[in-house]
Amino acid sequence: MNDADLQRELVSLPIKYLHKFAKGRIHRHFRLSKRRLIDSILALPSEQKMAIAHEVEQISTSPKKSPATSGNPKSSSPFYPKRSSPKKLSKSAPPSSAIGLQDLLEGIGVPEPKPFIPDDWQKEAVEAIAHSDVIVSAPTGSGKTFVATEAIQQAMARNQTVIYTSPLKALSNTKYMEFSQFFGKDQVGILTGDRRDNSQAPLLIMTTEILRNILYDATSGDLDLRLHTLGLVILDESQYLADPERGVVWEETLILCPTQTRLLLLSASIGNPQELAEWLTAIRPTTSCHLIRHTKRSVPLRALYLHPSGQLVPLLENRDIQQQKGYRFHPETKRLFNEYEFKPYR
């Protein structure tokens, strides 16, 4: 066993063993860090190093395990006891409680195209919007747009006007194109500060500021838009309510919205949707506000850690990211990250 091999083996061992080797050989070994310990072991005379190498071999062969293969399927059994035994010393095999990279990468792929079946929460939201205001708080990409399109269709069927607002002009434009494809070009209009494209269409897209201005004008009498047929207002990205500069516009819009109009607030996951719902119920006495809070993602999300050297390992101990249950980093991630932070990486 040459120096390089020995060093690699030593690095993979817990520091406890290194102290055992160093006992009687290195002065004040208990004061040394792992790296310094390894350095001083390697600096020992060759016969002592031979002896240590022998001991190392004994230790690493005793739990009969082949090193260097990561993600041993057996070791990742969920029924295995959680505490890792100190005998498992092979370098890249993660302790038993953690899962391997293979498990994590398992199941990548494209599902068969199948007819779209709405989730229960989506159905619930669509049903609720028929008779009350609705707040949908759901993670990104979980299908809030579906709720919006269903609600728009409902309202259109009743010959009502629908206003869809988004916080950014860029998002307005994207939605304009999306809805134009979905409902047909003549059904969708867009309003900006100076432009009115197809403003007589049943579905109007605008930024929230524009809607606020329309509501200002409506309440002061000089109205140029059909507010009496306004059946539904959809506020996308309503978490902007907390935006330091523009949040006030959302509040004004919600306060000034006519009472007969249904509100549909689509928001990313926020901490207090209940509070928002209580507020809306309080200020709009004729209708209650239905809260739909969906925290589960429709596509499970998994976390990986990519070391700058190109090594890919799981980030967390669990396979899928689980919400609100705390987190523990995967031991490999911890090891690699410590290395990254403290050792200049070449």
Partner 1 sequence: MPPAIHPIDLVDILRQHRLTPAIIFLTSRRGCDEAIDTFIHSTAGVSASRSEEIRTFLEKFSKEFPSIANHPLIPVVQDYGVAAHHAGHLPSWKIAIEELMRQGLLDAVFATTTLAAGVDFPARTVVVSQSSVRKSQDFADLTVSEIQQLAGRGGRRGKDFVGFVVVTPSPYIDLHVLGKGLTGQPEPIDSQFVVSFPMVLNLLKAHALDQIEGLLAKSFAQFQLNQRAAIHQDRLGELQEQLKPYGPRECADWVAQWKVFDLARRRKAHRRPVVNTDSPYLTACLPFLTAGRLIGLAKGPAIILRQYRSRGTGTPMLSVLHAKGTLGECQAQRVVEIYDQVHEFQPIRNLPWCPPRTLHQFKNILSQLPVRPPTLPILEASQEPDDPLLSNILTEEFACPTCPSHEACKKDVAVASRLQLKAQQATKTIQALRDGLWHQFQRKADVLHKFGYLTATLQLTDTGEWGRLIRINHSLLITELIRMEAFSGIAPELLAGVMASIAHDDDRPSSYMRLTPGLATMLAQVRQVADSLRAYEPTPLLRSDVAAIAERWIGQTELSWASLVRSTSMAEGDVYRLLARTLEFLSQIYGLKATHPGLADTAHQAMVNMRREVLAELP
**Footprint of partner 1 on 213-232 (CB under 8 A):** 213, 216, 219-221
The region of 4-12, 46-54, 69-77, 243-251 touching partner 1 under the rule CB under 8 A is 243-251
The region of 9-17, 53-61, 83-91, 235-243 touching partner 1 under the rule CB under 8 A is 235-243
Phi, psi of 236 (to 5 degrees): -80, 155
Among 185, 223, 275, 296, binds partner 1 (CB under 8 A): 275
Nearer to partner 1, 130 or 168 (CB): 168
* CA 161/CA 231 separation, integer angstroms: 6
Residue whose structure tokens are 């902007």: 240
Phi, psi of 164 (to 5 degrees): -115, 120
Nearer to partner 1, 50 or 301 (CB): 301
Among 12, 187, 269, 288, binds partner 1 (CB under 8 A): 269
Number of neighbouring beta carbons within 10 Å of residue 197: 14
Q: How far is the CB of 63 from partner 1 (least distance, A)?
A: 30
* CA 76/CA 103 separation, integer angstroms: 8
Write out the two tokens for 186.
């003549």
* CA 342/CA 346 separation, integer angstroms: 12
Closest CA to 290 of 300, 304, 302, 276: 276
Question: Residue 332 burial by CB count (10 A; 0-12/13-18/19+): exposed, middle or buried?
Answer: buried
Nearer to partner 1, 4 or 110 (CB): 110
Nearer to partner 1, 49 or 284 (CB): 284
Beta bridge partners of 263: 233
Sign of CA dihedral 331, 337, 339, 345: positive
Among 51, 168, 184, 296, binds partner 1 (CB under 8 A): 168
The region of 5-13, 72-80, 226-234, 316-324 touching partner 1 under the rule CB under 8 A is 316-324
Nearer to partner 1, 11 or 171 (CB): 171
- Based on the shown chain and the rule CB under 8 A, indicate whether residue 142 belongs to the binding site for partner 1: yes
Nearer to partner 1, 133 or 209 (CB): 209
Among 67, 95, 247, 331, binds partner 1 (CB under 8 A): 247
- Based on the shown chain and the rule CB under 8 A, indicate whether residue 181 belongs to the binding site for partner 1: no
- Based on the shown chain and the rule CB under 8 A, indicate whether residue 310 belongs to the binding site for partner 1: yes
* CA 134/CA 94 separation, integer angstroms: 47
Q: How far is the CB of 184 from partner 1 (least distance, A)?
A: 17
The region of 39-47, 82-90, 180-188, 270-278 touching partner 1 under the rule CB under 8 A is 270-278
Write out the two tokens for 270.
């926020």
* CA 190/CA 106 separation, integer angstroms: 44
Among 17, 121, 164, 176, binds partner 1 (CB under 8 A): 176
